Structure 1
Amino acid sequence: MIPPRFAPILFGFILSGFMSFLVSAIATVRTVGLVEGFISSSIGAWLFSWAVAFPTVLVVAPITRRIVARLTPQR
């Protein structure tokens, strides 16, 4: 089990994995279509995207939380 203090990092890891997979798969389909070798091309694009997305999420998430807190009323 992962200690609760790592929850934000785990959340960012999982979220960035899902989102980068979806976006890179769509971009790959739009670029090359559903051709032979699509899966390997898509996975290669996804792994590169995830390597960028994960640290980006860790940096951008706290900034986004602060912006959302300022734009929404507090109880």
Structure 2
Amino acid sequence: MLPALLLSGAVMLVTSAVLRLMWIGAGNDFFGDWMEAWLTSWPIAFPLTYVLGPVMRKLARNLKQDPCAT
């Protein structure tokens, strides 16, 4: 669970900063707006990362298998 928590937190931290800069720009209230966006998006991203992580790993394993190996 910890890897999903850390990964989703880091990805959403960077993503929310980039999108805030693109949409609003760097103003006096940038940090507050950024933290609000991050704290809103992280609780959504963490469960998705936790639940979909095993599914994505299985999909990646299946995609990288050699089709001629069987």
User: Structures share a fold, TM > 0.5?
Assistant: yes
Choose which of 43, 56, 59 in structure 1 pairs with 2:51. 59
Higher alpha-carbon Rg: 2
Unaligned runs of 5+ in 1: 1-8
Q: Does 1:27 align with 2:26?
A: no
Runs of 4+ aligned residues of structure 1 deviating over 2 Å after TM superposition are none
Q: Across the two proteins, how many residue pairs are aligned to each other?
A: 66
1:73 is displaced (CA, Å) by 2.9
Instruction: Give the structure, 1 or 2, with the largest relative contact order (CA under 8 Å, sep 6 or more).
Output: 2
Provide, for residues 2-58 of structure 1, a one-character-per-residue CA deviation record: whole Å limited to 9, x for no partner.
Answer: xxxxxxx00000000000000000111111100111000000000111011100101
Q: What RMSD, in angstroms, separates the aligned Cα atoms of the two structures?
A: 1.1
Normalising by the residue count of structure 1, what TM-score does the alignment of the two structures yield? 0.83
Unaligned runs of 5+ in 2: none
Secondary structure at the counterpart of residue 28 of structure 2:
coil
Secondary structure at the counterpart of residue 2 of structure 2:
helix
Alpha-carbon distance between aligned partners in 2 of 1:67 and 1:44, rounded to the nearest angstrom: 33
